[in-house]
Amino acid sequence: MFNNKMCNLHQTQLRVSVNDQPPFCQLVQRVDGSVQFGDKYSVDSDTLYLLQKQYNFTTTLINANQNFGIKYNDTTGEYEGAVGQVYSKVNRFKYTKLQK
C-alpha cells in the first residue's frame, strides 16, 4: 500500500502544533523560547516518540497556546490556533480546501 519512502523519513524535521493539556500533553517553555514535552508521562509525547522511532523523523514542537483552532474568516477560509498553523503552512505542509 505504501512505498518505502513512507516508512523512512530519513530524519526529516516535522513541526508539530501542540496544546498544553495535562495529563495528555504537558509542555515546558525553554529559556530560548522553544517548547518541549514535560518530564511527566504524557500520552501525546509517548505516541509521538513511538512514531519518530518507527518512521525515523525528528520534531520541533510549536505551542498552539491552548487554541485548537476555529475558522474565523469564511470568505478566505482562514483558521487560527493549531489548525491555522497547519493550514497557513506554519508547519510547512501543503493542504487544500475540501469542497462541499
Looking at the domain assignment, is residue 14 inside a domain?
A: yes
Which domain covers residue 37, as residue numbers? 4-87
pLDDT, tens only, 2-39: 555 567 888 988 888 888 888 778 899 899 988 999 88
What CATH number corresponds to the domain at position 46? 3.40.190.10
Between CA 20 and CA 2 the distance in angstroms is 33
23 inside domain: yes
Q: Are 20 and 26 in contact (CB under 8 A)?
A: yes
In the chain, % of residues over pLDDT 90: 21
C-beta of residue 18 within 8 angstroms of C-beta of residue 25: yes
Inside any domain, residue 99:
no
Is 81 among the domain residues?
Answer: yes
Q: Is residue 8 part of a domain?
A: yes
Distance between CA 77 and CA 84 in Å, rounded?
A: 10
- The answer to whether position 94 is within a domain reads no
The residue assigned the cell 498552539 is: 64
User: Does pTM top 0.75 for this prediction?
Assistant: no
Q: Find the length of the chain.
A: 100
Which H or E run contains 76? Answer: none
Classify residue 98: in a domain, yes or no. no
Q: How many domains does the chain have?
A: 1
Q: How much is the pLDDT for 22?
A: 81
Helix (H, G, I), strand (E, B) or coil at 45: helix
